[in-house]
């Protein structure tokens, strides 16, 4: 097998680009394997409105530096769940797509029911692709899951959906080390604070480890206003467990309060965080 072979996709195909280093690495390899972006290869970024500004900048920079056409999409409601096209300039920065989706749900997403990933990312991308010639009968969906994430790879591979999920990084045996060393050699990079991993995808994602969230709250608390407000609203619009993103730890308002008081809480041990279906 040549080094590029695992990255050759059967077309039509979509690269689900999350705006992270891993899916960026995968995209570069796919472009190399196809010697560019052939007809029938779409690259989509589905914005939830809760990503860090540096993530949006990175998606823009990947498109500009590599000459790749990235389709920016967002969830919207249009007499039903729908999508719209946006750009770096017009992309939501205050969780508007997420808020709009929640207005049509009776409960908040939670670790067992990840309605945000499915509605804001997977279905948004699928709805768009279904409008394109050649995609209506199905397509391959390349996800940036690495060889060192075998549980996530087997979980998504077992999913029976209309598109067939492929994990070229797993086929190529590429790991986090390969990803990091690749980006060190590039003229541009993701500029999230810290090592970048904490702030990826939705900055305040409920699947992140509690200690990680509290650390982000201490340095960039403004990212959590939306999460506090969503739980506050759900108090009157949802019932039971649907009022909270997580019932196994304090709500966002309480965590934010802890972080402001600089209390020395150690959340790390009992809470290893949960794997997110939104890839890195
Ligand atoms: S990053 Fe977390 S909160 Fe955002 S869409 Fe994915 S699962 Fe939901």
Residue from 98, 110, 207, 208 to probe ligand 1 pocket by mutation (most atoms less than 8 Å from CB)? 207
Residue 31 structure tokens: 């472009």
| pLDDT at residue number 271 | 54
Output DSSP code: residue 51: B
Give the per-residue pLDDT at 267: 58
In angstroms, the Cα distances linking 7 to 112, 189, 211 are 32, 22, 36
Tens digits of per-residue pLDDT, 236-257? 998 888 999 999 999 999 999 9
Q: In which residue ranges of the chain is pLDDT below 50?
A: 269
DSSP code of residue 186: S
Domain 5-184 belongs to what architecture? Answer: 3-Layer(aba) Sandwich (3.40)
| pLDDT for residue 269 | 44
pTM, rounded to two decimals = 0.93
Six-digit token string for 30: 């796919």
Q: What is the residue extent of each domain of the chain?
A: 5-184
Judge if the beta carbon of residue 172 lies within 6 A of ligand 1. no
Mind listing the pLDDT tens digit for each residue in 170-203? 999 999 999 999 999 999 999 999 866 789 999 9
Q: Is 48 in the pocket of ligand 1 (CB under 6 A)?
A: yes
pLDDT value of residue 154: 81
CB 190 within 8 Å of CB 60: no
CB distance 120 to ligand 1 below 6 Å: yes
């Amino acid at each position: 097998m040549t080094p590029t072979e695992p990255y050759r996709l059967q077309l039509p195909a979509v690269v689900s680009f999350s705006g992270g280093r891993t899916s960026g690495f995968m995209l570069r390899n796919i472009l190399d394997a196809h010697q560019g972006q052939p007809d029938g290869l779409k690259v989509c970024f589905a914005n939830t409105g809760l990503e860090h500004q540096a993530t949006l900048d990175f998606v823009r920079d990947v498109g500009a530096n590599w000459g790749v056409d990235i389709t920016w999409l967002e969830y919207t409601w249009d007499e039903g769940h729908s999508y719209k096209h946006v750009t770096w300039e017009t992309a939501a920065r205050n969780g508007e797509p997420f808020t709009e989706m929640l207005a049509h749900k009776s409960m908040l997403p939670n670790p067992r029911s990840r309605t945000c990933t499915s509605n804001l990312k997977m279905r948004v991308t699928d709805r768009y692709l279904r409008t394109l010639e050649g995609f209506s009968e199905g397509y391959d969906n390349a996800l940036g899951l690495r060889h060192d994430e075998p549980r996530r790879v087997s979980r998504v591979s077992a999913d029976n959906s209309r598109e067939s999920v492929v994990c070229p990084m797993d086929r190529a045996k590429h790991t986090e080390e390969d990803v990091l060393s690749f980006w060190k050699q590039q003229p541009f990079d993701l500029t999230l604070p810290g090592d970048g991993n904490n702030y990826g995808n939705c900055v305040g994602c409920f699947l992140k480890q509690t200690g990680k969230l509290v650390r982000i709250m201490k340095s960039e608390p403004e990212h959590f206003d939306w999460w506090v407000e969503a739980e506050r609203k759900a108090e009157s619009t949802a019932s039971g467990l649907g009022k909270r993103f997580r019932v196994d730890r304090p709500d966002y308002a309480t965590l934010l309060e802890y972080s402001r008081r600089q209390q020395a809480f150690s959340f790390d041990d009992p809470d290893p965080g949960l794997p997110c279906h939104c890839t890195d």
